[in-house]
Amino acid sequence: MLKSKYLPINSNISRRTHIKAIIMNSMQIIVIGLIILFIRILYTLDARHFYRTATDIAPTEYFVLTSECQIPYVDPFSSEALEIFDPKKFTYVSCTNDVALVQQIYLHETKQYKLHMNLSAMAEVSNTNDDNIEDMYCCYREIKRSGIYEFTTSGYELSSCQRFQQDFLVPRHIDYLITECYIGNETKVATQKDAFTFIQYRKLTDSFNAKNFSKLGIKRPSVLLLGIDSLSRINLRRTMPKTFTHLQKNDWFELKGFNKIADNTFPNLMAALTSYNQPTAEKKCQCKTLGGYNQRMCNLIWNNFRDYGYRTAYAEDVPIISTFNYGRYGFVEQPTDYYLRPFAICIENNMHVEKIDGLPDCIGRKHYAQYILDYALQFSITYTDEPIFGLFWMNSFSHNSFDMPATMDMKILEYLVRMKDENILERTIVFLFADHGMRFGPLLKLKSGFLEERLPMMFISLPQWYRNEHPEFVKALLVNKNRLTSPFDIYATLKHILELTNPVIEFPYLNGTTKGISIFREIPKNRTCLKAGIADHWCTCLLYEIVSINDKEVKNVAHLLIDEMNKYLVSKNIETKCAVLKLNNIYQALRKTSRKDNNSYNELTYRLWYFVRPGFKDFQATVNFNRTANKIEINVEDISRLDSYEQTAYCIDMKEAKKYCICRK
C-alpha cells in the first residue's frame, strides 16, 4: 500500500528517479518519519526488546566470565517468565483518594517542623465554609519508645490526644506522632488519621570534634543504604522497568556478579554490616540474649560511623519479620540516633491496615514503604551540611511475592528522582540493594530460578565530587561490575569510606574476620566463591553437569539427605510435632565438574532438587558425597525450601527449623 500510494508505477521513469522523487517530497519524508517513529515506540513498549540493550548485555551473554567464575546471562523476559508474569496486570494504586487534612511542613532555616491544617479540605469534609469550621478540630498523639522487650508486639507508648492550632510548631522532643481530626466534640470516630515522623535536628553530644576535618580540608560523604527485600537484579528489570531505566540513565554502578552468601536476610545483611558470617554473628552479637546487639563486639558498622561524627539512622517496615527481631531479641538500647521501630509497631496497631499477600501494604493513607523512604529523605534534608549514615529497609511490597514490586515501580522512581532533585546524591554515596532474590514461589520453578534466588540487585551512586577526587574508584567499579562480589565486600567498602575520612588515624578497613574486598579496589579476576565467602550451595558460578534422576547413586544421595533432615528435626526436639520426611521423587540432579582429578572419583558434589512427603514439598540441596564411606557432608540449615512454609510449620516457633517442619496435623 505504501508503494502504490507514494510510488506510482511508470515504465518511463527509472527506479533511481522514483527514489529521487521521494527525497524531494518533504511531505512524504514527514509521513515516513512518523511511521518509523510509531514503529520505534511500539518496539520500546515491548519490554523484552527494551531491556536487551548494549549496555546491559555482554557479547558473551554472561554476567561474569572469568577463569574461576561463569555466571550466565538470564533474560528477564524469557517465554517461561512471561507465562507467570504479565506486566500489564500491575500498576501503582494509591492507598487513598482523600485530601490530607493535616500536612507536614519543614522549616529549613530553623530546622523545625509544623503541622498545617488544610482548612478548605476540612470545610468540604464538614459541609461548611472556611470561616465556620469551629466544629472540626485536630489533635495529636505522641509516640514514644517504651521498654526493652523488642521481641514482643509492644515497645511503644501512645499519649492521649492533644488539640493543636493552625501551623502548630512540633516540639523538638517529639520524634513521631499520629494526628486525628474530628467533626464535633461528641464524635468518637476520627474523620481522618495520619502518621508523621520527624528527624529533629540535634547537636553532637559526644567528644567528637567536627572542626578537625575542616582544618584538614577533608570532605566527608554521607552514606545511605536503601534495601528492598527479596529482589534479584533479574527481577528488578522484570518488575520495575522505570526504576531500572532511571538507574541506567543516571550512571549508577551495578555489580552484576553480586552473590548472596546465605539463605535469608539476617546472614546477608549482617555480613554487610558487621563482616561476620552467621555463626560468628550469632556468637559475637548474642542475638538471643537481651542486650547482645548493643555490645561493642557485635561490630555493627553504624557504631564506627557514629565514632567518626556521623549521625546514624535505622528504619525497617513490618516489625514482625524485621532483620534484628525475627526469632531474636532485638535491641535493648536504641541502636542509632534515629530509630523507627516504635513508630512502625504503633501505626500497625493504631491505624487502618490493608494487607497484600499476608503483609501490611497500606497503613493509613500511605504505603508502608513510603514511611521508610520519607524518613530517609527527612534524614538527608535535615543534615545537609553534616555527614549521615543510614540503613532504610523495605519488606512490605517484595518479601512474599516476586511480582508485587511492579506495583511500587512508579513510587520508588519518584523517590529516586526526589533524591536527585534535592541534591542528596551530590553529597551522598547511596547503595540501592537487596539481601537475596525470591526464595520461594513460582519464580524458583523457572530454569533461571537458581540464579534468581542467589543474585540480589546492587547499585551504587557516587557524588560527582567523590568521582573527581577518586577516579581510581570509578575505574575499579567499571571493572568490578562483571566480577564476583558478595555482602562481605560491602562491609569492606564502608570501612574503606571511613578510612579515607581520617588519614591521620590508622583505620584498617579489614579486621581479620571478613573475606571482603572494597569494591573501590579491583576485585581479582581469579576470585572463587570460596575466597568471596560464598558456600557451594549459594555459589552461582560453579560448573555442574546434568545427571539422570534415575541414577542409583543420585537416589542414594537423596535418601541420605532425607535421613539428615529427619535427624535434624530430632536434634531440635520437634520430631513429635513435625512429620517424618520421606522422598517422593527427584526433579533434577546435577554433579559438579572438577578440574582436579586427584580425588574426583571418590569425593563428589551433587546438587539435587527433590520433593518430599507428606505434602509434596520441594527442596534444593548441595551436598558433598564420599563414595567409599557412603556418607554425605551438609549443613541441613543450608538446604533451600522452594515453596512457602508459612502454612505447614505453624506448630513450631523455631525460626531455623520452620523450613523443614511439616506439621503432623
What pLDDT band is residue 600 in, cutting at 50, 70 and 90? low
Helix (H) or strand (E) holding 537, with range, is none
Amino acid at 641: R
* Rounded alpha-carbon distances, angstroms, from residue 484 to 75, 244, 490, 509, 528: 19, 21, 13, 20, 8
Q: What is the value of pTM for the model shown?
A: 0.86
What pLDDT band is residue 138 in, cutting at 50, 70 and 90? very high
- Tell me the CA end-to-end span of the chain in Å, nearest whole number: 70
- What pLDDT score does 152 carry? 58
User: Which grid coordinates belong to 561?
Assistant: 539427605
CA-based max dimension of the chain:
96
User: Chain-wide mean pLDDT for the chain?
Assistant: 87
What pLDDT band is residue 540 in, cutting at 50, 70 and 90? very high
**CA 124, CA 119: separation in Å to the nearest integer?**
9
For cell 474523620, what's the residue? 191
pLDDT higher than 70, residue 133: no
- What pLDDT score does 501 carry? 83
Q: Where are the domains of the chain?
A: 2-45, 102-197, 544-660
Average pLDDT, stretch 84-113? 94
- What pLDDT score does 40 carry? 41
Contact (CB, 8 A) for 142 and 184: no
pLDDT single digits (tens) 342-384: 999 999 999 999 999 999 999 999 999 999 999 999 999 999 9
Q: Which residues does 362 contact at the CB level (< 8 Å), separation at least 6?
A: 95, 96, 352, 353, 354, 368
Q: Where are the beta strands (DSSP E) in 237-365?
A: 253-254, 257-258, 311-316, 338-339, 353-356, 359-363
What pLDDT band is residue 193 in, cutting at 50, 70 and 90? very high
pLDDT higher than 80, residue 310: yes
pLDDT single digits (tens) 40-70: 444 334 333 333 333 344 435 899 999 899 9
pLDDT single digits (tens) 641-658: 998 888 899 999 888 899
From its phi and psi, is residue 621 left (phi > 0), alpha (psi between -120 and 50) or beta? Answer: beta
pLDDT higher than 90, residue 169: yes
pLDDT single digits (tens) 603-637: 999 999 999 999 999 999 999 999 999 999 999 99
**CA 181, CA 189: separation in Å to the nearest integer?**
9
Strands of the sheet with 168-169, listed across from one edge: 102-107, 112-117, 168-169
Contact (CB, 8 A) for 257 and 62: no
- What pLDDT score does 43 carry? 36
Fold of 544-660: Nuclear Transport Factor 2; Chain: A, (3.10.450)
Contact (CB, 8 A) for 467 and 429: no
pLDDT higher than 90, residue 151: no
- What pLDDT score does 39 carry? 39
Contact (CB, 8 A) for 385 and 369: no
Spell out the SS3 assignment of 367-412: EHHHHHHHHHHHHHHHCCCCCEEEEEEECCCCCCCCCHHHHHHHHH
